[in-house]
């Protein structure tokens, strides 16, 4: 006990001393490890502080193994990767809503996973406040993995491979839910997407230039979209109603805040990798970006909570003529990070080996 | 180079401070054991007992299957009215597990104390700090999985007056934003509690379950039998805010 107190004091002192030379130390990754969490030059400081959970090679690999392991779901039939597919920027291709155990269809579209270390809140309604806890919803939702934390921890402790791997990362004899969440966070926080054509253009890398259409689309984007889909994350991380329904079936943010003016509001999603992460909207109602742009052009319906930016000067929506839509699409495609979606580090380790 | 320099200084200060702590800790501080007794209608709580005839102030009958709550951020007030904040500690009192009834507070400075204050719930700094362990492990079943954050106090039971399925009572009190259900109660101690250096004192805290359903908002189970955070949870938290606990007796050994 005494030893533990002393250890904690040491940590506190190290932490205090650390603040003096923060910039010179890789605070997000354990020293000597090669799995490095880097803040891209055009990005702000991440929200996740990696406190007590700096990324390590072994931790990242363990998190990835858990992410691809169906052992987490009640009937061991699905893993996180069933709905979060690397080639779709970790959204689910062609599925309007999530698809859980027993063929259960959920009510909301699987969100893409990237740049999570910059995210303050998670899920379409923002109900989860911390990256480490973000898997808890899918793990326990009856229509997703339908398991519970006790069961997951028991299974992992009883498995052949996991106890030694957890011990290597967390230096403890037994696996608990905290280690599971932290291991997963070591993987999910590493899912950084910041190498699209847009990023290279902004950072003046590789002599990348925009085409005329892309350049024109970027100007339209800045004039008409960026108030909500703010650079460089392409979301202002707020909750808004974008005029999908007069009477929303899904109350959205209100289910968390219990406030009438949040009915029908959802988290503004990032537009990064939007080309590959359809279907779109919280319920996956639009299959193509063309439909999405047409919604903003002519489909926005009025409701008490409709975002004021979508009824400026009494005009519903955002007028976008055919040419503007084409240009905007050209720009949105510059946000596709092919290096990210093809990154072998983030793919199923079992499949990569067998290839 | 710079980091090496800092590391040396850190190591040096660690050795000094840890030495100081190891020397002063045992001699200078005492312990306080809080013994929690859960009580309904003046009787010790019996879980899952259908023979008990508990009733709320509205006259509705009920039984209790689950009763759990967090206490944290414990503060002592000495006989001069000075406030002594104890080191961060979190305890889950679970009526179904008697090993949780006697949380031990360590590092209590010696002194004469006239009141104790308990936070019912978990402070926001810890609540939103990511995955926790021990009694704050979400596997304890006191954590909302779709709306992350701790359930500060949970009572489940049955009342014939409840209109819910199977006449269930489900009172899950928690949430901070925008409806805050964190409550801090300061409890006067009937007799001055003296804690000497290296000594262990004990205080008995009575938890009055009746307090959930009366006070600011009298609860009629036919109208309110379910809270899951939100405005209704605030009604319950407001009820028990100043009346959940009393201190009954204090002994020293």
Closest CA to A332 of A239, A204, A227, A220: A220
Residue B196, domain member (yes or no): yes
**What ipTM does this complex have?**
0.85
- Quote the minimal CA–CA distance from B75 to chain A in Å: 20
C-beta atoms of A259 and B178 within 8 A: yes
Structure-token match 């969100």, residue found = A111
Q: Which of B21, B148, B229 sits opposite A129 (nearest CB)?
A: B148
- Any domain includes B19: no
Residue B202 lies in a domain: yes
Question: What b/e sequence results for A273-294 when a residue is b if at least 16 CB atoms lie within 10 Å of its CB, and e otherwise?
Answer: bbbbbbbbbbbbbbeebeebbe
Domain coordinates in residue numbering, chain A: 23-192, 197-336
Domain A23-192 -> CATH class: mainly alpha
Kindly state whether residue B3 falls inside one of the protein's structural domains: no
- A215 CB-near residues (< 8 Å, 6+ apart): none
CB-nearest partner of A133 from B21, B22, B131: B131
Judged by phi (left if over 0) then psi (alpha if -120 to 50, else beta), residue A264 lies in left
Test A2 with B10 for CB contact under 8 angstroms. no
- Domain containing B67: what range? 28-252
Domain assignment present for residue B4? The answer is no
Interface of chain A toward chain B, CB-CB under 8 angstroms:
2, 5-6, 9-10, 13-14, 17-18, 20-21, 24-25, 51-53, 123, 127-133, 136-137, 139-141, 148-150, 153, 176-178, 180-182, 185, 255-259
B42: left (phi over 0), alpha (psi -120 to 50) or beta: left
User: What distance in Å separates the CA atoms of residue B40 and residue B55, rounded to the nearest whole number?
Assistant: 9
Q: Give the minimum alpha-carbon distance from B148 to chain A in angstroms, rounded to a whole number.
A: 5
Whether B16 maps to a domain, the answer reads no
Q: Is residue B188 part of a domain?
A: yes
CA distance A86 to A155: 26
Interface check for B4 against chain A (CB to CB < 8 A): the answer is no
The answer to whether the A23-192 and A197-336 domains have the same CATH topology is: yes
* CATH classification (class only), A197-336: mainly alpha
Beta bridge partners of B245: B207
B12 within some domain: no
H helix and E strand count, chain B: 3, 14
The response to whether A84 counts as a known ligand-binding position is yes
CA-nearest residue to A154 within chain B is B139
Q: pLDDT (tens digit, 0 to 9) for every residue of chain A, 355 residues total?
A: 445 544 444 444 444 443 434 444 568 988 888 999 999 999 999 999 998 999 999 999 999 999 999 999 999 999 999 999 999 999 999 999 998 998 999 999 999 999 999 999 999 999 999 999 999 999 999 999 999 999 999 999 999 999 999 999 999 999 999 999 999 999 999 999 999 999 999 999 999 999 999 999 999 999 999 999 999 999 999 999 999 999 999 999 999 999 999 999 999 999 999 999 999 999 999 999 999 999 999 999 999 999 999 999 999 999 999 999 999 999 999 999 999 999 999 999 988 654 4
CB of B138 within 8 Å of any CB in chain A? yes
The answer to whether A143 is a known ligand-binding residue is: no
pTM of the model: 0.88
Shortest CB distance from A258 goes to which of B138, B148, B179?
B179
**Domain total of chain B:** 1
């Amino acid at each position: 006990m005494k030893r533990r107190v002393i250890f904690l004091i040491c940590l506190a002192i190290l932490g205090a001393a650390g603040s003096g030379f923060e910039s010179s130390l890789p605070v997000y990754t354990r020293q000597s490890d090669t799995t490095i969490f880097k803040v891209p030059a055009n990005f702000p400081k991440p929200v996740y502080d990696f406190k007590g959970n700096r990324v390590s090679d072994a931790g990242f690999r363990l998190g990835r193994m858990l992410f691809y392991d169906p052992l987490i779901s009640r009937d061991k039939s699905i893993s996180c990767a069933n709905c979060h597919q690397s080639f779709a920027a970790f959204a689910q291709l062609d599925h309007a809503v999530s698809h859980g155990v027993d063929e259960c269809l959920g009510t909301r579209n699987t969100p893409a996973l990237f740049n999570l270390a910059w995210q303050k809140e998670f899920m379409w309604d923002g109900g989860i406040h911390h990256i480490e806890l973000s898997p808890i919803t899918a793990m326990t939702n009856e229509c997703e993995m339908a398991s519970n934390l006790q069961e997951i921890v028991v299974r992992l402790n009883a498995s052949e491979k996991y106890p030694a791997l957890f011990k290597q990362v967390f230096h403890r004899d037994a696996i608990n839910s905290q280690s599971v969440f932290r291991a997963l966070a070591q993987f999910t926080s590493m899912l950084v997407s910041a190498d699209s054509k847009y990023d290279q253009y902004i950072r003046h890398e590789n002599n990348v230039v925009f085409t005329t259409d892309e350049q024109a689309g970027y100007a339209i984007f800045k004039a008409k979209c960026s108030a909500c889909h703010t650079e460089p994350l392409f979301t202002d991380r707020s909750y808004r109603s974008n005029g999908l329904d007069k009477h929303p079936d899904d109350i959205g943010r209100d289910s968390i805040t219990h406030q009438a003016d949040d009915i029908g509001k959802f988290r503004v999603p990032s537009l990064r990798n939007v080309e590959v992460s359809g279907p779109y909207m919280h319920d996956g109602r639009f299959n193509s970006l063309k439909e999405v742009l047409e919604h903003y052009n002519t489909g926005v319906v009025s409701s008490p909570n409709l975002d004021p930016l979508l009824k400026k000067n009494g005009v519903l929506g955002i007028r976008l003529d055919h040419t503007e839509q084409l240009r905007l699409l050209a720009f949105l495609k510059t946000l596709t990070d092919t290096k990210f979606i093809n990154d072998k580090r983030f793919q199923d380790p079992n499949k990569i080996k067998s290839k | 180079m710079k980091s090496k320099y800092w590391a040396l200084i850190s190591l040096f200060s660690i050795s000094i401070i840890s030495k100081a702590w190891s020397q002063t800790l045992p001699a200078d501080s005492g312990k306080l054991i809080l013994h929690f007794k859960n009580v309904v209608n003046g009787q010790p709580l019996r879980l899952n007992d259908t023979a008990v005839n508990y009733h709320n102030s509205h006259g509705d009958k009920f039984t209790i299957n689950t009763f759990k709550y967090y206490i944290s951020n414990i503060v002592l007030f000495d006989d001069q009215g000075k406030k002594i904040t104890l080191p961060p500690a979190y305890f889950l009192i679970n009526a179904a597990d008697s090993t949780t009834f006697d949380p031990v507070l360590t590092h209590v400075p010696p002194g004469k104390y006239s009141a104790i204050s308990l936070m019912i719930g978990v402070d926001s700094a810890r609540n939103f700090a990511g995955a926790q362990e021990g009694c704050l492990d979400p596997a304890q079943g006191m954590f909302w999985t779709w709306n992350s954050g701790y359930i500060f106090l949970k009572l489940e039971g049955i009342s014939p007056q409840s209109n819910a399925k199977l006449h269930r009572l489900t009172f899950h009190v928690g949430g901070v934003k925008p409806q805050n259900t964190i409550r801090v109660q300061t409890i006067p101690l009937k007799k001055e509690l003296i804690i000497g250096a290296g000594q262990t004192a004990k205080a008995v805290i009575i938890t009055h379950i009746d307090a959930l359903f009366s006070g600011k908002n009298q609860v009629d189970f036919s109208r309110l039998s379910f809270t899951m955070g939100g405005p209704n949870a605030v009604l319950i938290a407001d009820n028990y805010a100043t009346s959940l606990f009393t201190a009954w007796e204090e002994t020293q050994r």
